[in-house]
Amino acid sequence: MQDLLYFSQQLINGLTIGSTYALIAIGYTMVYGIIGMINFAHGEIYMIGAYTALIAITGLASLGVVWLPLILIVALVCAMIVSSSMGWAVERVAYRPVRGRHRLIPLISAIGMSIFLQNYVHLAQGSRNIGFPALIDGGFTFGSDGAFQMSLSYMQITIFITTLICMTALSLFIARSRTGRACRAVSQDLGMANLLGIDTNRIISATFVIGAALAAVAGLLLGMYYGSVDPLFGFIAGLKAFTAAVLGGIGSIPGAMLGGLILGVSESMTSGYLSGEYKDVVSFGLLILILLFKPTGLLGKPEVEKI
């Protein structure tokens, strides 16, 4: 019984982290699916989302607003607006001018952008980590007193529900809306979509904006869950999310969701049963193994190299 409780605790923790990884991973996978580049600065956009949310929460608190749902919704909207503007601007400044050149060039440009954004926030807000107020307290506990107790906090439930809403909304958007249809067309064949009268530049911008908005949601959720933010906060999370995207098959949206969950669970199992220090080693090791043995990921399509 004890072991089962401990196991399910790790499972819940893993699923919580994993679902936020999935939110970030969608940004990577959508951009890769459409223009075939790794948006290295995506982790930084997520970090900026977390910072904006924290600024909005602190600002509202100093104005005397105490009603929790209002605070959360305002913070979420602010973070999404600022992050998506950032995503739009990054694509416009750093990626559009180099689109279609040799593969390394957009990648180096993206790394430069990532370093730039990290230091932009570092200079503006300082390098120390800043505490994120725990707005959602409490939770359920299972198990008897004196022994191991499994806990499921309201925060974790909030994360599950928010992620679920975002994923459903995104799936509906991609499947049903006009822009979503255009997105799918562009990811299948950019040149052909262009010929058929789709404004591909606008669709690419839209992809960056959607990815950034989802990253901002993840920023708010993870900021509250971990309880602090710092300018380097985005780098590792970005790598993890990229791993999740590759694991599920880069370019595939359901793959990103699945990959995020698998990665989160395997990480929390490592820290639960081995050691917390090695959880990053496990996720990078997983990434390397997948790329070596199944580069298309779990749900990805094999890429045919055309001459």
- Contact set with another protein (CB under 8 A): 37-38, 48, 51-52, 54-55, 58-59, 62, 78, 81-82, 85-86, 88-89, 93-94, 97-98, 101-109, 111-121, 123-126, 128, 130-131, 133, 235, 239, 242-243, 246, 275, 277-278, 280-281, 284-285, 287-288, 291-292, 295, 305, 307
Q: How far is the CB of 97 from another protein (least distance, A)?
A: 4
- Taking the least distance from each CB to another protein, the nearer of 19 and 114 is 114
What distance, in Å, lies between the first and last C-alpha atoms of the chain?
59
The residue among 43, 82, 24, 58 whose CA lies nearest residue 214 is 24
- Taking the least distance from each CB to another protein, the nearer of 7 and 235 is 235
> CA of 241: how far to CAs of 28, 68, 112, 167, 172, in Å?
8, 29, 19, 15, 22
Q: How far is the CB of 87 from another protein (least distance, A)?
A: 10
- Taking the least distance from each CB to another protein, the nearer of 7 and 116 is 116
DSSP β-bridge partners for residue 131: 228
Q: How far is the CB of 95 from another protein (least distance, A)?
A: 9
- Taking the least distance from each CB to another protein, the nearer of 24 and 54 is 54
**Quick one: DSSP state of residue 227?**
S
- Taking the least distance from each CB to another protein, the nearer of 93 and 164 is 93
Q: How far is the CB of 183 from another protein (least distance, A)?
A: 21
Q: How far is the CB of 166 from another protein (least distance, A)?
A: 21
Q: How far is the CB of 144 from another protein (least distance, A)?
A: 33
Identify whether the C-beta of residue 254 lies closer than 8 Å to the C-beta of residue 248: yes
- Taking the least distance from each CB to another protein, the nearer of 181 and 202 is 202
| Amino acid letter, 50 | A
Please tell me the total number of residues recorded for the chain in this structure: 307
Helices (H), the chain: 2-35, 42-63, 68-90, 104-125, 154-176, 178-188, 190-195, 200-226, 233-248, 253-273, 279-293
> CA of 261: how far to CAs of 7, 15, 18, in Å?
16, 6, 4
- Taking the least distance from each CB to another protein, the nearer of 138 and 285 is 285
Identify whether the C-beta of residue 170 lies closer than 8 Å to the C-beta of residue 214: yes
Q: How far is the CB of 222 from another protein (least distance, A)?
A: 17
